[in-house]
Chain A
Amino acid sequence: MQSNNFQERNEERWRELELLLSKLENKSATPSEAAKFPELFRQIAGDLSLAQSRMYGLTLCNRLNQLVIRCYRNLHRQTISGWHRIGDFFVRGFPQLVREEWKLFWFCNFLFWVPVAVMWLSVKIDPRWAQALLGPEGMMQLEMSFGSDERMSGRDEFTENFRMFAFYIGNNVSIDLRIFASGVLAGVGPLFFVVFNGLHMGAAFGYLDHIDTPMRLVTWASGHGFIEMIGMIIAGMGGFLLGMSVIRPGNRTRKEALKRGAHRGVLLLLGAVVMTFIAAIIEGYWSPLEIHPLIKNSAGLAFAILICAYLAFAGKGRYET
């Protein structure tokens, strides 16, 4: 059969399909019309196969190729399957994923908390370390905010709280995203960011410990600090999943490993971003409140225990994915 014959014979069917496709694309197809779609798709897939193997020419093959791609896109179009899937992820999937990667979780915690402790001690012994890390301006600011009992006022206005909330979102969530993305460069990014943040935090606490007491900073950060740190650490895990798949792909090809690492890592990142988001809300609205330190600290402690319990137990047992 010649190309022209082939075209003439099937032209009507192709036109019908084109019409149906445009109806599907602007969502005006009736159910009975839509039901015909899979059959028409299979037929045109066959037509394309035939046209390709019989070399019916570029124009015809191109046209059929584009049609098949359009069909394919419509058949495989994803619809957001509702909020329950997102809810399910946070109730079960996310803590499960963190537990599955428990080695990485403790490794990232190690990378963060050890520098905190080391720097805290070093600064307490020799405050010049703080100078190197925080700089004179950072030290001044710390001293002003947390050094004495005279606190800066003016944070209790709603609008100012909103500005700070926005700032924390912009700043901290961006850091999470960068930590994750830079993980693809063999994990160098998360390594740097997590350790550096640890050193910085250690220096701040150490410096306040040196001049007076770190308790005021502890009280201030008690509500948001823990969830923010864990969020950053989990973003680091996501980054390392990317990095590890490049460094040590195991029995997969690097490309395959990277694909898998990215799809798992991005889920960790999603959880981390939500945690950082919650931390920003607390930091914007709860942390500046003038409440008795004892109440604030116990609330912070309770919240931290809650987070630990969530990561350790949520989605355990009974459920199967």
Chain B
Amino acid sequence: MEGKLDTLQKNEIAEGVDIRLRVAGPTIRAFACLIDFVIQVVVLIILRIALLMLAIVSPELYEGLIILVMFAIWWLYTVVFEASKLGATLGKLMLGLRVVQSSGAPLTLQHSVIRNLLRVADMLPVGYCIGLASCMCTRNFQRLGDLAADTVVIYKDPKINPALLKMPLLHAQQAEPLVPTSPLTREEQEAIVKYADRVVDWSPDRQQELAGHAKTLTHQTGPSGVMRLLGIAKWIRSHS
């Protein structure tokens, strides 16, 4: 396969079929991380207040407990949540993300420990610089911890525009089937069919801009280029 058209990651599973995981980029993961941080801080503050009575009775016991709690919150929070059935920290859960092995299988404890301990390395020198650089250099936005544990962060349920569900082929139905002038690879066919599927999702300008990339195939630009591309999509669909 040459260049990738999207952030879908194909994986063949033992049943012989490709599943497609939609990997999540650094921005949304940064937001998830921020939410987690706020949760960690809030929990710590609540615990400190709850244990305040203890602090008066025995300051040493209080101090010791706080150290243990901080240790647990800092090191174990992410490990435990990601290894659990949820497969994501609370922040990730809220944003609809999930951590999985790059095969798509759920994490084991070992994976979770590796990817979350190496967070320390990814955070260097400040604010996840190394992690970000690593995300940029890998196909599936993997930071060092992900690379070592062989995991990816994906969207749990990729959102589909409701408009797509209601009138999937309305637009495309207007187009007349059109025989493509040159042979198309499987990848190209798929791309054109996907274009037809998602075309209602975009503004007319965007529709034309994207159809413009297939100018060598449609020989036209503008609205008629869009219609011709939809026609080709229709032809492919009826002949596959």
Q: Which residues of A does B touch, CB under 8 Å?
A: 41-42, 45-46, 48-49, 52-55, 57-59, 62, 65-66, 68-69, 72-73, 76-78, 80, 157, 159-160, 162-167, 169-170, 173-174, 177-178, 180-182, 184-185, 189, 242, 255, 258-259, 261-263, 266-267, 269-270
Contacts and interface: CB of A to CB of B under 8 A. Distances in A.
A304 B203 CA distance: 73
Contacts of A53: 240
User: Interface of chain B, helix or strand or loop or mixed?
Assistant: helix
Nearest to B189: A55
A31 to B, nearest CB: 20
Interface residues of B, number: 57
A59 B60 contact: no
Contacts of A262: 114, 118, 148-149
Interface string B101-126: 00011101110011001111100100
A59 B226 CA distance: 21
User: Interface of chain A, helix or strand or loop or mixed?
Assistant: helix
B165 interface: yes
B206 interface: no
A174 B71 contact: yes
B117 A266 contact: yes
B42 interface: no
A163 B117 contact: no
Nearest to B130: A185
B57 to A, nearest CB: 9
Contacts, number: 146
Interface of B: 13, 15-21, 58, 60-61, 63-65, 67-68, 70-71, 75, 85, 100, 104-106, 108-110, 113-114, 117-121, 124, 130, 144, 147-150, 157-158, 160, 164-165, 168-169, 189-190, 193-194, 197-198, 236-237, 240
Contacts of A166: 63-65, 67-68
B120 A259 contact: no
A181 B13 contact: no
Contact of A68 (B19, B150, B158, B237): B19
A28 B124 CA distance: 45
A163 B63 contact: yes
Contacts of B67: 163, 166-167, 169-170
Contact of A76 (B106, B113, B120, B130): B106
Given A41-B15, A45-B17, A72-B19, A78 B121 contact: no
A263 B67 CA distance: 29
Given A41-B15, A69-B104, 4 more contacts: A62-B158, A181-B117, A185-B130, A262-B149
Nearest to A254: B147
Nearest to B8: A65
Contacts of B117: 177, 180-181, 266, 269
Contacts of B130: 185
Nearest to A49: B17
Nearest to A238: B117
Nearest to B123: A181
Contacts of B148: 184, 242, 258-259, 261-262
Contact of A59 (B19, B75, B197): B197
B149 to A, nearest CB: 6
16 contacts: A45-B17, A54-B240, A57-B168, A57-B197, A58-B197, A59-B165, A65-B20, A66-B157, A80-B109, A160-B60, A163-B61, A181-B117, A182-B121, A259-B148, A262-B118, A267-B110
A-B interface, 9 closest residue pairs, ranked by CB to CB distance from nearest: A166-B64, A262-B148, A45-B15, A58-B197, A181-B120, A163-B64, A163-B60, A159-B60, A166-B67
